[in-house]
Amino acid sequence: MNPAEATWQPYEEPGDLTMRSNLPDTVFAFPRQRKEPLTDAHHVRNAVARFDQVIDVSDEDRALAFANIEKAAQYYGVNLTETNWNQLGVHPQQNREEAAAQAVETKRERGELEEAAAKAAATRRRGRKGRVV
């Protein structure tokens, strides 16, 4: 299989970008799925860390994503030790959706669901200040 050709391009818009929908497909590691934006060094490192958590993608999508991550890493000065996407992980976390559903049910049974939802919303609001989420 030939290595995928990167589609990533830097995207710099004046002002703060706060909406993913504002970003073109070319800034995502997985452009078809619009997953893992590569807008700065922080997001590049995050895409590497979460690479194996992306679900419902083909090997070709992963090869393209890795090529995009490599190109963005070079642009932003992020050092990668991996040389191909297989080193980042191929299998998404097993039973992730079931585990999340069970966690919600447990919090509901304990009466902690509203508190957890409020905490998650506050975390998302803090994360949006000056960053693309």
Is pTM, for the whole model, over 0.75? no
* Helix/strand/coil for 37: strand
Residues 62 and 116 placed together within one structural domain of the fold: no
Q: Which of 10-14, 16-20, 26-30 tops mean pLDDT?
A: 26-30
Structure letter (DSSP) for residue 54: -
Give residue-wise pLDDT tens across range 67-81.
Answer: 999 999 999 999 988
Could you give the CA distance from residue 124 to residue 108 in angstroms, rounded to a whole number? 21
Instruction: Report the mean per-residue pLDDT for the chain.
Output: 82
Mean pLDDT calculated for residue range 13-34: 78
Question: Do 14 and 32 share a domain, yes or no?
Answer: yes
* Distance from C-alpha of 23 to C-alpha of 39, rounded to nearest angstrom: 9
End-to-end C-alpha distance for the chain, whole angstroms: 33
Q: Rounded to whole angstroms, what are the CA distances from 23 to 12, 19, 30, 100, 122?
A: 10, 8, 13, 28, 24
Q: Are residues 14 and 60 in the same domain?
A: yes
Number of domains into which the chain is organized: 2
Domain check: are 102 and 123 in the same one?
A: yes
Residue 1: per-residue pLDDT = 43
Residue where the block lists tokens 């679900």: 55
Distance of CA 102 to the CA centre of its chain: 23
Over 80: is that where the pLDDT of 25 sits?
yes
The whole domain housing 45 covers 1-93
- C-beta of residue 132 within 8 angstroms of C-beta of residue 20: yes
User: Is the same domain home to 101 and 70?
Assistant: no
